[in-house]
C-alpha cells in the first residue's frame, strides 16, 4: 500500500506539479542543486515545484539495527526546502509495507493519484527507490518518455574532491572536520535537542549557567570546547559549547553544555537549535574551579569574536 503524500501547503488548483523526490536530510548544497533544477523545470512546464521527502528515513525502517542519525528535524527540513525554492513540501510516511512497493507501482501512483497532475520529476542521479532499490534514473527516464512528462537526473555536487551527501556530512562532523561539513551544508553544523536539568555545577560554582542539551538531531563532533550560536525564540545568541565529560567535575556521561552569553531566563524544557562554529580546545582537567573559570573567560572572548565574524543566519 502506498501512503498519500501529506502536503504542508494548499495544493494549487488548475496547475500541475513537478516533484523533487528524496529524503533531503540536511538540505545540503547538493539537495539545493536539485531544488534549483526543479524550479527551472517548473518554469518551463508552467507548473508548481514541490519537494517531497520521506519520514522516517527509509534506512531506519528497513535496517532498524543501523539507523542513520538524522541531521534535521522534519519541520526544519521542510522549511529549508521552501527556502531553497520549493513552493510546496510534502511528506510520505515510510513504513515496511511501503518499502515493499515496486518502483514501477510508485511511479504509477505519482502519475495517477488523482490529487494532482504530474508534469515532471527531478531526483539526484544516483537516487534509488522501490522494493530492493530497483528504481533508478533509467527507470524514471523510460517512465517519463512513455507518459510525456519531463525528467531531470541531477548530477551530484562535488566539493574538494568529495561528493556532497548527508553521509559525508555525518562522517566529516564526527571526525571533527567542521569546516568541510559546513562547505557541504552551506551553513554551520547544527544540533537540535531539548534542555534538561544538569548537575548545576556551572551556575553554582563557576557563575556560568549552561543549557544541557539532550541531542535529538545532528551529529556530534569529538569532545572539546567549541564556539557556537544558540537560537532562542528566533534570536541567535553567542554560546561557549562543551562536549564531553567535564573531567574537572568527573561527570560520568557525555553531555552537551552550552553557556549562553547575553541571555537571562529559563531554558528548561525548550527544544533549541545550536550551531557549532569553530573548535576552540580539547577538554582537560583543571586543578581548581578558579583555574577553569580563567580558561572559560578566554573561551568566551574567542566565542564573541567568532560570533561577530558570522555573516548572519543561513
Cis peptide upstream of residue 309 (ω within 30 degrees of 0): no
Q: Specify the DSSP class assigned to residue 211.
A: E
> What's the CA gap between 286 and 292, in Å, rounded?
6
What are 114's three cell numbers? 488523482
Q: 196 vs 22, 160, 259, 266, 283, CA distance in Å?
A: 33, 38, 14, 11, 22
Grid coordinates 566539493 are at which residue?
A: 159
146 is catalytic: no
Catalytic residue among 104, 162, 179, 257: 257
> What's the CA gap between 114 and 117, in Å, rounded?
7
> What's the CA gap between 225 and 168, in Å, rounded?
23
Asked whether 130 and 102 are in contact (CB, 8 A), the reply is yes
> What's the CA gap between 46 and 39, in Å, rounded?
10
Sheet holding 48-55, edge to edge: 6-7, 88-93, 48-55, 17-21, 118-124, 150-154
Most distant CA atoms of the chain, gap in Å: 74
- What 3-state class would DSSP assign to 275? strand
The set of catalytic residues is 257
Amino acid at each position: 500500500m502506498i501512503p498519500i503524500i501529506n502536503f504542508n501547503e494548499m495544493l494549487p488548483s488548475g496547475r500541475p506539479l513537478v516533484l523533487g523526490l528524496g529524503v533531503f536530510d540536511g538540505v545540503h548544497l547538493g539537495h539545493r542543486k536539485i531544488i534549483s533544477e526543479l524550479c527551472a523545470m517548473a518554469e518551463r512546464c508552467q507548473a508548481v515545484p514541490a519537494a517531497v521527502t520521506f519520514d522516517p528515513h527509509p534506512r531506519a525502517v528497513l535496517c532498524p539495527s543501523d539507523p542513520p542519525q538524522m541531521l534535521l528535524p522534519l519541520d526544519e527540513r521542510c522549511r529549508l526546502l521552501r527556502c531553497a525554492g520549493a513552493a510546496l513540501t510534502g511528506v510520505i510516511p515510510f513504513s515496511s509495507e511501503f518499502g515493499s512497493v515496486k518502483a514501477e507501482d510508485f511511479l504509477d501512483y505519482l502519475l495517477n493519484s488523482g490529487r494532482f497532475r504530474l508534469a515532471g520529476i527531478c531526483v539526484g542521479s544516483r537516487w534509488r527507490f522501490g522494493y530492493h532499490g530497483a528504481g533508478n534514473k533509467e527507470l524514471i527516464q523510460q517512465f517519463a518518455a512513455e507518459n510525456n512528462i519531463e525528467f531531470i537526473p541531477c548530477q551530484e555536487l562535488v566539493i574538494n574532491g568529495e561528493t556532497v551527501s548527508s553521509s559525508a556530512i555525518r562522517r566529516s562532523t564526527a571526525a571533527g572536520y567542521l569546516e568541510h561539513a559546513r562547505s557541504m551544508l552551506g551553513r554551520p553544523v547544527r544540533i537540535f535537542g531539548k534542555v534538561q536539568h544538569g548537575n548545576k555545577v556551572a551556575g553554582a560554582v563557576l557563575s556560568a549557567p549552561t543549557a544541557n542539551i539532550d541531542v535529538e538531531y545532528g551529529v556530534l563532533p569529538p569532545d572539546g570546547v567549541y564556539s557556537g550560536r544558540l537560537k532562542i525564540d528566533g534570536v541567535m545568541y553567542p554560546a561557549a559549547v562543551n562536549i564531553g565529560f567535564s573531567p574537572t567535575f568527573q561527570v560520568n556521561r557525555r553531555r552537551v553544555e552550552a553557556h549562553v552569553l547575553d541571555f537571562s531566563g529559563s531554558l528548561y524544557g525548550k527544544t533549541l537549535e545550536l550551531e557549532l562554529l569553530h573548535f576552540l580546545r580539547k577538554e582537560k582537567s583543571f586543578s581548581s574551579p578558579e583555574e577553569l573559570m580563567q580558561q572559560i573567560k578566554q573561551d568566551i572572548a574567542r566565542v564573541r569574536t567568532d560570533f561577530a565574524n558570522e555573516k548572519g543566519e543561513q
